Chain A
Amino acid sequence: MKCLVTGGNVKVLGKAVHSLSRIGDELYLEPLEDGLSLRTVNSSRSAYACFLFAPLFFQQYQVATPDQDPARCKVLMKSFLSVFRSLAMLEKTVEKCCISLNGRSSRLVVQLHCKYGVRKIHNLSFQDCESLQAVFDPASCSHVLRAPARVLGEAVLPFPPALAEVTLGVVRGPRVILRSYLEEEEAVTAGVLRPMVTEMSLREEDFQELQAQEGVAITFCLKEFRGLLSFAESTNLSLSIHFDVPGRPAIFTVEDSLLDGHFVLATLSEPDSQPQGLGTPQLPAPPLQAPSTPHLDDFTSDDIDSFMIAMETTVGSDASRAQLPPSLSPGPQPPCSPDSNSEEAEPSTVPGTPPPKKFRSLFFGSILAPAYSPQGPSPVLAEDSEGEG
């Protein structure tokens, strides 16, 4: 495999790597006939991202020489990112970037040809791997939003950097709202007074496409979304959001003739409206139709103290919580909780047993959902990480 990127496209490639690095620790590089694909999945498999750079994106694109196996590899995200670390430098000094994969030397070689004849050669070690592929289909999603990345980028700008999740909903007007999502326990421990809820409201005119019923709302992770947004903003593309009912993965896409990017993010299965409602009483009722049973079962952003409080204030669901070590969740990172894959056995629809975690693995989710169900027998849609990175 050999491909040559020149001029401004080097920065585009670098930007893409930066946004992928917000998701996974490993980067899957696969040269395909229709372009070079860069993919990653996060450790809890609740977020998947894929960029495909068309052959025309490159000055030269060669999938494989005839005697070679189709090359495919995975590298540590950190080491690949280090090649493209400084975007300002990429823009200022790098003239050409050549990526080649040579099975014989067992190295992924990235060469940067810089100004003044300086040349940087990175020989990265890699692992062979299976193809990473998530099963998703934007066409099957009933709701679609499309807007210039700048509009969405400005809309998420006011949210605090530490905010984990954001709720996107369509309300009467129609208007699209983006609201900071607060864990119920955050609200409880703070006595409902401290948390600040930020809400941005966008008009229909801001969108290039808006096909969604009033009242729909999904909650997803902001960090990954920001990653794709910053890519889309830098390339001046518009961003489409395909989504369905809460709990089903949302698909974020950018597309032009030379590249496309897909980010598939898990959404919270049951948005709990109660504290949100208290925080923003002016909010129209429909956007977050949540079941009335309150759960205090998410301790995704807890320190020990709030965990203890949760233990005390919840009656009845202690058992499910007690299985989980309290130290698992040091930060507000719900989708990264290491046990999300094990949740599959728990059907979230059984009444009275709230799911221990709200984010389910999106791959698993896509298997469960009949609409997505692939006919093939293999339940493994994404290759298991091979232990060692």
Chain B
Amino acid sequence: MSVVIFLLLRLAPGNIVDILFSTGGYVSDADKKLIMQELGLDKPVWAQYVEWIRNMATGDLGKSYRYDVPAWQVIKPLIPVTIELAVLSTIVAVLIGVPTGVISAVRQDTVFDYALRIFSLAGLSMPSFWLGMVIILALAAWLGWVPPMTYVGVREDFKIHAVQFLLPALAVGYRSSALITRITRSAMLEVLREDYVRTAWAKGQSEGAVVWRHALTNALLPVVTVIGIEFAFLIGGLVVTETVFNLPGVARFLVQAILWRDYPIVQTLVMFIAIVVVLSNLFVDLLYGWLDPRVRYSG
């Protein structure tokens, strides 16, 4: 994993020194060499890689070329913003996706079903950053009010903070809900034909109890899997959404770091994202055992 990320970045044409000084006017070749040496960019690629891995093992993630401070120090304050946004988006996605999926399955092949499926497919088709822009525009047009586009901490003003996060979460969550809807629908369609559901009907239980308690709890397993998978897509979606809403998160910073060719930052961020994805998959696996007692991991 680390090799791939590292090599991809070093293959890039252009380097930080050129970019740093392209705004600062002419810099002599001798000065350039000096700076390259200082940053360790004059060494062969494999030597740079070995050094990076060795440093990472000791907890040193390298220095940001641009800010001249340890990469971790730059990234650390950004993480809570992205995590908060990702969690909120997931909640929105589940809140939209699961009910639409269930209703779609219960009312299979009715106009209702078709409308909900088109609704969810439309979410999958709209770029979340565009949806975010449209939400902002709509607020401006109808309410004559736009949330401030500079980040407000949760302690400074809770209301503004909440709006700032809910809007992008809505844009990203709607998109993510599409897959959840689809999986919920197909899982529900299967479960609704099971014997125990018929038993529940025969017992004379209300439709709500049958659908939401007996059927949904049993249809949840594939849904949870897809929520885990969605998490990876979600972070991809955040890259652009954080930019639109000007939120100082990891994803927006990644774009800036890429544009700056700030290798230590990009490497650290991409590794961070990869680790989060792996962890979320692991979490889903563990959740299986809790949701479905039949799943046991001991050999």
Binding between chains A and B = no
Residues of A within 8 A of B (CB): none
